[in-house]
Amino acid sequence: MAEIRWTEDSASAAGSRERGFKILRDGDEIPGVFWYPEGIRGAQPLILMGHGGSGHKRNERMLQLGQMFSGDYGWCAAAIDGPQHGGRGPVTDATDAEYTAMWQTDGIVESTIEDWRATLDALEQLGEVDSARIGYWGLSMGTMFGLPYVANEDRIVAAVLGKAGMSGPSVDRSGIAPHFQQHAPNVEVPVLFTIQWDDERFDRDGQLDLFDRIGSEDKRLHAYPGLHADYGPEAFEVQAEFFERNL
């Protein structure tokens, strides 16, 4: 059983409270953040959130989502640092040499699946979390690690994925394509798949190819123009409404 250690006192913002934690797994420490609604009563859905390459558990996007899910919707949310990111390493940009080296580590995808499993094992023991209503949110690197996790985690009931595909510079650096080929057909839960129409890291056709490979009978494509347009408030609301329908 994974062990959780709380590392920081609760902080609050706009109806949302947060606590830092570390998950202890096989001698490794996985730093994370847990958000929950202020004045929570009873168990609520939990959204696990995977950050993108060069991000970390408390970057701006994670904070926005964690506070929105907990403060506006009354759910719980959690994010962890990915390998070599945040409190686990030096990567601050997806063009860093350390980022490419991370993907060359043997078993990196399988190890990150186990990181998420251990995190959920610990969090679902909390009285605030309804273990029957677990969602996953992760774009870009959050999908590169998250799609294989969702495909292998029976406790996930809905997922927001995207900004990733079968071809493009990030695919060349990471070698993620074989993992997508293996795991995408095994994703069977409802999926909202976000693509960035003009993406500098994943080709448009490759993103559509990955969407087609996802095995879910209930999958929806949400496309945005330009760069980083899918990170605005409108997109967050669409994604939250998707979870609201499926959790």
Task: Assign residue 38 the CATH number of its domain.
Answer: 3.40.50.1820
Joined tokens for residue 176: 């993620």
CB 81: neighbour CB atoms within 10 A? Answer: 23
Work out how many domains the chain is built from and give that number: 1
Residue among 137, 118, 109, 111 at smallest CA distance from 52:
137
pLDDT, tens only, 144-184: 999 999 999 999 999 999 999 999 999 999 999 999 999 99
> What pLDDT score was predicted for residue 26?
87
Provide the whole-model pTM: 0.96
Give kind and range of the element (H or E) at residue 115: helix 108-123
Segments forming the whole domain that contains residue 175: 3-246
Phi, psi values for residue 197, rounded to 5°: -60, -40
Can you give the C-alpha Rg of the chain in angstroms?
17
Length of the chain as a residue count: 247
Q: Which 3 state secondary structure label does DSSP give 55?
A: coil
> What pLDDT score was predicted for residue 226?
62
Joined tokens for residue 55: 């991000």
Give kind and range of the element (H or E) at residue 180: helix 177-183
pLDDT, tens only, 56-78: 999 999 999 999 999 999 999 99
Distance CA 37, CA 195 (A): 30
